[in-house]
Structure 1
Amino acid sequence: MEKRTLSRDGTRIAYESTGRGPAVVLVSGAMSTGAAVAPLAAELSDRFEVTVYDRRGRGASGDTAPFAVEREVEDLAALIEAVGGEASLYGVSSGGALVLRAAASGLPVARVAVYEVPYAMDDAAARAAAEYTGRLAEALGQGRRGDAVELFLRLTGLGEEMIRGARQSPMWAGMESLAPSLAYDDAAMGDSRVPRSELASVTAPLLALAGGASPEWMREAARAIAEAAPRGTYRTLEGQSHVVEPGVLAPVLADFFAN
């Protein structure tokens, strides 16, 4: 990350901007830095000034205790100010939950797009999310970063054999370094349900996306997001899963942001 801006609490937030045009800020999900959305930024940079950043507690950005979701919203406020005072936002997975919180807070957001925010769509999923929250807090509180990463990987549906393999991989140390930020993503998800009352206050046009190859509940969550927002629209990207291809996603976002 080449640039820095200061959030309201003094935390340094590292970011990088590319391209020219209306400002767009991309927000990554759990267990990732701004590098995760850099390929999408490259696809959009011919029409927009696209900013990617390391969320607090990750990569080249700092962190300041105590954490609250409001601090991450303030990080986005600082970035929007740095890129001209207004921007469209895109967030993937739990990063999308943060984007929705930011849009509902009244930040100067032109347009909002999210991809597969994993909100719980039934009671069983909500109970599983609540159990994850408790066990994650316990693991992190005891300094068991590896166990915290395992909890997250299980939540995403990864099998035990694959988790054991991940523990032996060269990437594991980097994953453990990001483990404390799992609590930040979990906080952004709120009570795990679609935040309909908050979404009702989002005045900007909103696009909720999901992949046609993803589980049906992902599409249900995206539809619910769109239905709860006054200017919400839902769209399925056929053939796409939770790891969406930048070349497929970028044209859809470009048309939406340029409108």
Structure 2
Amino acid sequence: MSSVISADGTAIAYSRTGQGPAVILVDGAMCFRRMGPSQPLAAQLSDRYTVYTYDRRGRGESGDTAPYSVEREVEDLDALIKEAGGEVYLYGISSGAVLACEAAARLGGIRRLAVYEPPFVVDDTYAPRPDDYLDKMDAMIAQGRRGDAVATFMKTVGMPGFLVGVFRLTPNWPKLKRVAHTLPYDFRVLGDTGSGRPLPRGRWAGAQLPALVMDGGKSPQYLRNGARALAGVLPNAEHRTLPGQTHLLKPQAVAPVLKQWFV
């Protein structure tokens, strides 16, 4: 295992594969190097790039220094950018897309940005998250109700209750419970972007670099609307729909697009 030390002293574990310009992949909620889309995507990109995958703080083999703040996660990416030579391409998916935007707005050294389906709710095509959602999630974690937190999250993103019940019986459930305490981290990254209101125009004003915002042609309408909304508020963004894709994006579908964009 390789690791870098973030500004607050937290060890952030990462893996590196391939040769060429550096690309950092940023995972979404509950994903980490051993569970999620980053490793398969890294394999697709490693013929052209040096690809860095990492465990966001609190997950996998990374540390988790309290108290949490979004700024600390941005500092984690800053440490990785420096480890990668100071100049990288950055790709984020789902809530990791929002973290990637935060980093692009605050840090130097990012040449180009690409993101896929940030989980925004910007209109009436999906129920907004309740104002007390994060408070309730914090309470479940504090009470040791990790399974309930995972189940609540799954229902929030649209999984039917009976499927959540089935999922509790799968081998992945204990793995998800181990990282359940990081769910409030993701919702702090998202902020009020699930309110059903338009995105704040100035939030990522510092992200002046070229950005590509993607969605899937078979994804729910609210996710597609959120992606278009993000492309509209980023200072220098393009929007693209990947035909046939859903929020469970296939690495072989996005890898060719990233290879065209990261030039």
TM-score by shorter chain over 0.5: yes
User: 2:143 corresponds to which residue?
Assistant: 142
Q: List gaps (5 residues or longer) in structure 2.
A: none
Q: Which of 220, 224, 244 matches 1:215?
A: 220
User: 2:48 corresponds to which residue?
Assistant: 47
Assess, with a 3 A threshold, how the Cα gap between structure 1 residues 129 and 211 changes in structure 2: closer, same or farther: farther
User: 2:39 corresponds to which residue?
Assistant: 38
Query: 1:202 corresponds to which letter in structure 2?
Result: A
User: 1:18 corresponds to which residue?
Assistant: 17
How many residues matched? 257
Greater mean alpha carbon deviation, residues 53-62 or residues 167-176: 167-176
CA contact 2:125–2:221 (8 Å) conserved in 1: no
Query: 1:151 corresponds to which letter in structure 2?
Result: T
User: 1:205 corresponds to which residue?
Assistant: 210
Displacement of 1:133: 1.8
Q: Normalising by structure 1, what TM-score? A: 0.95
CA contact 1:11–1:62 (8 Å) conserved in 2: yes
**TM-align CA RMSD:** 1.5
Displacement of 1:157: 0.8
Q: Distance in 2 between matches of 1:224 and 1:176?
A: 32
Secondary structure at the aligned position of 2:64 is classed as coil
Displacement of 1:126: 6.9
User: 1:4 corresponds to which residue?
Assistant: 3
Secondary structure at the aligned position of 1:43 is classed as helix
Q: Deviations over 1:206-248 (max 9, x none)?
A: 0000000001221111111111122100000000000111111
User: 1:103 corresponds to which residue?
Assistant: 104
Assess, with a 3 A threshold, how the Cα gap between structure 1 residues 98 and 213 changes in structure 2: closer, same or farther: same
Displacement of 1:173: 1.2
Q: Deviations over 1:50-101 (max 9, x none)?
A: 1000000000111100000100000000000001011111000001010011
Q: Normalising by structure 2, what TM-score? A: 0.94
User: 1:112 corresponds to which residue?
Assistant: 113
User: 1:187 corresponds to which residue?
Assistant: 188
Query: 1:19 corresponds to which letter in structure 2?
Result: G
Assess, with a 3 A threshold, how the Cα gap between structure 1 residues 217 and 169 changes in structure 2: closer, same or farther: same
CA contact 2:126–2:222 (8 Å) conserved in 1: no
Q: List gaps (5 residues or longer) in structure 1.
A: none
CA contact 1:18–1:41 (8 Å) conserved in 2: yes
Query: 2:6 corresponds to which letter in structure 1?
Result: S
Assess, with a 3 A threshold, how the Cα gap between structure 1 residues 107 and 184 changes in structure 2: closer, same or farther: farther
User: 1:231 corresponds to which residue?
Assistant: 236
Q: Are 1:164 and 2:165 counterparts? A: yes
Share of identical aligned residues, percent? 47
Q: Distance in 2 between matches of 1:127 and 1:107?
A: 33
Greater mean alpha carbon deviation, residues 137-146 or residues 241-250: 137-146
Q: Distance in 2 between matches of 1:229 and 1:214?
A: 22
